[in-house]
Amino acid sequence: MNDHAAVKAALRAMRIETPSWAYGNSGTRFKVFAQAGVPRNAYEKVADAAMVHRLTGVAPSVALHIPWDRVDDFADLTRFAADQGIALGAINPNVFQENDYKLGSVCNPDARVRRKAIDHLLECVDIMDVTGSSVLSLWFADGTNYAGQDSIAVRQDRLADALREVYDRLGADQRMLVEYKFFEPHFYTMDVPDWGTSFAHCMALGDKAQVLVDTGHHAPGTNIEFLVTVLLRFGKLGGFHFNSRNYADDDLMVGAADPFQLFRIAHELVRADVIRPDSGVEYMLDQCHNLEAKVPALVRSVLNVQEAVAKALLVDADALATAQQAGDVLAAHGVLMDAFATDVRPLLAELREEMGIDPDPIAAYHASGYQRKIESERADGQQAGWGA
């Protein structure tokens, strides 16, 4: 696309959801370095997410993790979010942090534990009914550590049964996105280790079940843009958890480790015309900020996604098709590299001015006094949820 007005219109319409847990304290199993000013509850996480939206103009919703973000009255939290100018987005059930889940949640050999896990998933659909969320984002830590520990086959049956029960409970405008992860916390098998397993279950379930691609959940060397393209082909790409990785599930800022990979993924998304907010593909971040300040890190992450998408929108599709058809390998590759090498920051700054926001959102954050305000108002902020 060479028409800058059309590129800006597409970028203006795009929606990127931030995760509530990224605003809380996080760290590694060695140490959590608490930061001043982090939210003490779900309301303050929503307030921070609203600040990211005010600064970027393209992050109008926040994903919740239950029970990390459990509140007494979700209708009240929904109203609070609306007053702040954002909506509550995907609901992420948590079936991995209780002793009962040691041997798994929906795949656990104990029927009582499976029931408990399924009931939590169903409860999360009840919450969606109140918050108006349309996405149930499922990730299962289930798996085994040793050969023979449990039956791989029977665990798949239990998984299918649980997914079916939850699927049947979904409302007309609700979907379940099934995330996969190739290892961790288990090291012999994960019950949903890859996009193929997720895809197969989603195909068996029906149209309201789709695959969630977390960019940090693949083996090194996996070609993510390839699998994204295949999922799109079958209408099974439900959305993303964006982050970046150098080694495993690092959860670093999206676009930090490998901006070229992000661009290559964005190219396939632009080609399939699914950047639009009504495309059915959800763009969500799933990150934690262990060293850097949280709010500006989320702003930076949103900008990184925008920059990758802007470059992808600038790919000369006609020139690319001509070169591909002619079998001109270098010319085709050159078309992509030209777009990737374009400095899109002036275009994005121009877009922000047109949107009535500061062209430099990070500088605007530092000038806003927001960090000073939250540091003085909030004592003893909440840990994101892991290893608390």
Nearest distance from C-beta of residue 252 to Mn ion, angstroms: 11
> Is the CB of 48 or the CB of 286 nearer to ligand PSV?
286
- How many residues contact Mn ion, by CB under 5 A? 4
Residue 26 near which of ligand PSV, Mn ion, none (CB within 5-8 Å, type-dependent): none
For ligand PSV, the binding residues (CB under 6 A) are 21, 92, 139, 179, 181, 214, 241, 249, 286
Residue 142 near which of ligand PSV, Mn ion, none (CB within 5-8 Å, type-dependent): none
Question: Considering the rule CB under 5 A, would residue 69 count as an interface residue with Mn ion?
Answer: no
d(CA 187, CA 246): 19
Nearest distance from C-beta of residue 96 to Mn ion, angstroms: 11
Question: Considering the rule CB under 5 A, would residue 214 count as an interface residue with Mn ion?
Answer: yes
> Is the CB of 85 or the CB of 185 nearer to ligand PSV?
185
Nearest distance from C-beta of residue 131 to ligand PSV, angstroms: 17
Name residues whose C-beta falls within 8 Å of residue 198's C-beta, 6 or more positions apart in sequence.
178, 179, 180, 192, 211, 212
> Is the CB of 107 or the CB of 138 nearer to Mn ion?
138
d(CA 382, CA 22): 11
Q: How far is CA 151 from the centre of its chain?
A: 31
Nearest distance from C-beta of residue 214 to ligand PSV, angstroms: 5
Residue 92 near which of ligand PSV, Mn ion, none (CB within 5-8 Å, type-dependent): ligand PSV
> Is the CB of 249 or the CB of 338 nearer to ligand PSV?
249
343 CB-side CA count, 13 A? 3
Indicate if the alpha-carbon torsion angle 322, 258, 62, 140 is positive or negative.
Answer: positive
Residue 382 near which of ligand PSV, Mn ion, none (CB within 5-8 Å, type-dependent): none
The torsion of the CA quartet 199, 202, 206, 210, rounded to 10 degrees, works out to: -80
User: DSSP readout, 73-104?
Assistant: -HHHHHHHHHHHT-EEEEEEE--SSSGGGGG-
Residue from 186, 241, 245, 294 touching Mn ion (CB under 5 A): that is: 241
Residue 307 near which of ligand PSV, Mn ion, none (CB within 5-8 Å, type-dependent): none
> Is the CB of 155 or the CB of 245 nearer to ligand PSV?
245
> Is the CB of 68 or the CB of 199 nearer to ligand PSV?
68
Contact between 247 and 214 under an 8 Å Cβ cutoff? The reply is no
193 CB-side CA count, 13 A? 16
Between the alpha carbon of residue 146 and those of residues 31, 153, 209, 335, the distances in Å are 28, 15, 30, 48
Question: Considering the rule CB under 5 A, would residue 286 count as an interface residue with Mn ion?
Answer: yes
> Is the CB of 90 or the CB of 344 nearer to Mn ion?
90
Strands 143-144 and 189-190: antiparallel
Three-state DSSP state, 72: coil
d(CA 112, CA 114): 5
Contact between 212 and 137 under an 8 Å Cβ cutoff? The reply is yes
Q: How far is CA 89 from the centre of its chain?
A: 11
Residue 218 near which of ligand PSV, Mn ion, none (CB within 5-8 Å, type-dependent): none
Question: Considering the rule CB under 5 A, would residue 17 count as an interface residue with Mn ion?
Answer: no
String of contacts with Mn ion for each residue 166-205, x by CB under 5 A: ----------------------------------------
Nearest distance from C-beta of residue 26 to Mn ion, angstroms: 12
What residue number has its CB nearest to ligand PSV?
139
Nearest distance from C-beta of residue 127 to ligand PSV, angstroms: 15
Nearest distance from C-beta of residue 199 to ligand PSV, angstroms: 17
What residue type is 45 in one-letter code?
K
Which of 68, 73, 12, 27 is closest to 45 using CA atoms?
Answer: 68
Token code pair at residue 44: 């303050």
Residue 180 near which of Mn ion, ligand PSV, none (CB within 5-8 Å, type-dependent): none
Nearest distance from C-beta of residue 338 to ligand PSV, angstroms: 34
Nearest distance from C-beta of residue 57 to Mn ion, angstroms: 25
215 CB-side CA count, 13 A? 29
Residues forming contacts to Mn ion in the complex (CB under 5 A) are 214, 241, 249, 286
